């Protein structure tokens, strides 16, 4: 708790649900291990509290994107393995070593830098190797993979490869042919390289079945309750609840407008509720005239534009007993899944989560 008596908006993170989603990933991917992907401040939910909770229920491996994220995470989970997806550019090597971070090496150049660092330290250094299977983003391209395979003893000198990984481009769609293509390329690549534990799947891949699980899966979105395959039932529980409070109610006559640009005009005598959440907080302006909030279990459509600090809802159809100043309005949670607000905002669940601003106080429930 922040100790404030009144908060216009809050983000409730259900750590118990994050834990349940971690266990669900384990069940779906068993016997593969599950690593927690906590990059981007655990998708906006708070990297340290989330990682500490996951560690307390047996998660011993985490992924972050940035070196700085790994450095910040290290004290929260002192004994865990922390992989850094961005890799090991030569000037990141000293910090990676001193914070005991394990880089995901994405190129022959990074492999060379890491190997050189290990030799200089006269020891072995752990690393993951990421080779590309079709994403064409990070990871060794096919030519570099072939070179590595041909000269593996020399290139991997003093490197202990603890994970071979790749990343699926289309795991959100179970029917995408690309999944099978990438699976085959991943298997071919693994056969060319020294034996090591392997990892291909993020949350979507977990839902593609056992073939895709290998030795470790890397869920992010699913841990936070997002549906990795929006066309199918979500196996994960709601873990993030975004609410705002009604700051003011107003009765308007037909023909009156609401907000900037007067884009909403009342067609009937209406009741409007102005709520303390705006685009600063992460409600996208694209929600204008499309989204909804839930007041007392009833859906109330967005009226007019989203402003910086405020959003106005048409609560005419909400029973008067429920639409009170100070009442909580849900924008994401048990009534409105992430996928729904994402669709109304013209974006993906991922961006909804990562756009939630620091201005919204986080509350952690176990």
Ligand X SMILES: *Cc1c(COP(=O)(O)O)cnc(C)c1O
Residues recognised as catalytic: 39, 260
Q: Give the containing element (helix H, strand E) for 340.
A: helix 338-345
Tokens for 108, please give them. 């022959």
Q: Which range in 199-207, 268-276, 335-343, 354-362 contacts ligand X by CB under 6 A?
A: 199-207
Residue nearest to ligand X (CB): 220
**Which member of 101, 221, 295, 342 binds ligand X (CB under 6 A)?**
221
CB of 123 to ligand X, least distance (A): 27
Residue owning tokens 């669940």: 349
DSSP secondary structure of 344-363: HHTS-HHHHHHT--TTSPEE
Instruction: Confirm if 238 and 333 have CB atoms less than 8 A apart.
Output: yes
CB-wise, 25 or 316, nearer to ligand X?
Answer: 25
Q: Which range in 214-222, 292-300, 304-312, 335-343 contacts ligand X by CB under 6 A?
A: 214-222
Instruction: State how far the alpha carbon of 283 is from the alpha carbons of 157, 214, 331, 337, in Å.
Output: 50, 38, 9, 14
CB-wise, 109 or 135, nearer to ligand X?
Answer: 135
Helices (H), 38-176: 39-43, 47-56, 67-73, 93-98, 108-120, 142-150, 152-155
CB-wise, 107 or 307, nearer to ligand X?
Answer: 107
How many other C-beta atoms are found inside a 10 Å radius of the C-beta of residue 197?
15
Size of residue set near ligand X by CB under 6 A = 13
Tokens for 338, please give them. 């992430």
CB of 105 to ligand X, least distance (A): 13
DSSP SS3 for 5: coil
* 219 touches ligand X by CB under 6 A: yes
CB-wise, 42 or 306, nearer to ligand X?
Answer: 42
Half-sphere exposure of 289 (CA within 13 A, CB side): 11
SS (H, E, C) 293-304: EEECCEEEEECC
Site for ligand X in 14-53 (CB under 6 A): 37, 39
Q: Which range in 12-20, 90-98, 218-226, 316-324 contacts ligand X by CB under 6 A?
A: 218-226
CB of 243 to ligand X, least distance (A): 24
Q: Which range in 8-16, 183-191, 197-205, 326-334 contacts ligand X by CB under 6 A?
A: 197-205
**Which member of 167, 185, 245, 323 binds ligand X (CB under 6 A)?**
167
Instruction: Confirm if 278 and 306 have CB atoms less than 8 A apart.
Output: yes
CB of 191 to ligand X, least distance (A): 21
Report the distance separating Cα 166 and Cα 106, nearest Å: 10
**Which member of 85, 198, 300, 306 binds ligand X (CB under 6 A)?**
85
CB-wise, 103 or 219, nearer to ligand X?
Answer: 219
Q: What is the DSSP letter of 146?
A: H
**Which member of 10, 26, 218, 245 binds ligand X (CB under 6 A)?**
218
Query: What contacts 307, CB < 8 A, 6 or more positions away?
Result: 259, 260, 278, 279
Residue owning tokens 């302006």: 285
Instruction: State how far the alpha carbon of 362 is from the alpha carbons of 44, 217, 256, in Å.
Output: 10, 28, 36
CB of 220 to ligand X, least distance (A): 3
CB-wise, 105 or 246, nearer to ligand X?
Answer: 105
Q: Which range in 147-155, 179-187, 215-223, 279-287 contacts ligand X by CB under 6 A?
A: 215-223
Report the distance separating Cα 154 and Cα 115, nearest Å: 9
* 307 touches ligand X by CB under 6 A: no
**Which member of 21, 202, 234, 307 binds ligand X (CB under 6 A)?**
202
CB-wise, 36 or 276, nearer to ligand X?
Answer: 36
CB of 365 to ligand X, least distance (A): 22
* 203 touches ligand X by CB under 6 A: yes
Residues that bind ligand X (CB under 6 A): 37, 39, 85, 167, 202-204, 218-222, 228
């Amino acid at each position: 708790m922040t100790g404030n008596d009144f908060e216009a908006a809050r983000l409730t993170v259900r750590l118990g649900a994050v834990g349940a989603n971690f266990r669900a990933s384990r069940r779906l991917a068993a016997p593969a291990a599950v690593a927690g992907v906590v990059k981007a401040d655990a998708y906006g939910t708070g990297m340290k509290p989330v990682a500490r909770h996951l560690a307390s229920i047996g998660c011993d491996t985490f992924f972050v994107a940035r070196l700085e994220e790994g450095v910040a995470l290290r004290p929260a989970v002192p004994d865990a393995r922390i992989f850094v997806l961005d890799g090991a550019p030569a000037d990141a090597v000293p910090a990676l070593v001193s914070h005991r971070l394990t880089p995901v090496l994405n190129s022959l150049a990074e492999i060379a830098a890491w190997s050189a660092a290990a030799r200089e330290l006269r020891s072995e250094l752990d690393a993951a190797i990421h080779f590309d299977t079709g994403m064409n983003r990070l990871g060794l391209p096919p030519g570099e993979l072939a070179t590595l395979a041909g000269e593996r003893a020399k290139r991997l000198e003093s490197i202990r490869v603890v994970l071979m990984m790749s990343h699926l481009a289309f795991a959100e769609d179970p029917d995408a042919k690309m999944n099978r293509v990438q699976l085959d390329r991943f298997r071919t690549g693994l056969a060319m390289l020294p034996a090591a534990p392997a990892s291909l799947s993020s949350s979507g891949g977990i839902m593609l079945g056992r073939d895709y699980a290998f030795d470790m899966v890397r869920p992010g979105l699913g841990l936070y309750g997002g549906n990795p395959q929006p066309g199918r039932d979500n196996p994960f529980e709601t873990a993030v609840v975004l609410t705002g409070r009604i700051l003011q109610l107003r009765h308007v006559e037909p023909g009156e407008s609401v907000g900037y640009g007067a884009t909403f005009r009342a067609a009937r005598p209406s009741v409007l509720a102005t709520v303390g959440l705006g685009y600063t907080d992460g409600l996208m302006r694209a929600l204008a005239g499309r989204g909804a909030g839930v007041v007392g279990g009833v859906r109330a459509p967005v009226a007019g534009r989203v402003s910086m600090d405020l959003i106005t809802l048409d609560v005419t159809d909400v029973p008067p007993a429920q639409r009170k100043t100070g009442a909580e309005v849900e924008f994401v949670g048990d009534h409105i899944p992430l996928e729904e607000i994402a669709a109304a905002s013209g974006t993906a669940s991922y961006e909804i989560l990562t756009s939630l601003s620091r201005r919204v106080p986080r509350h952690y429930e176990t």
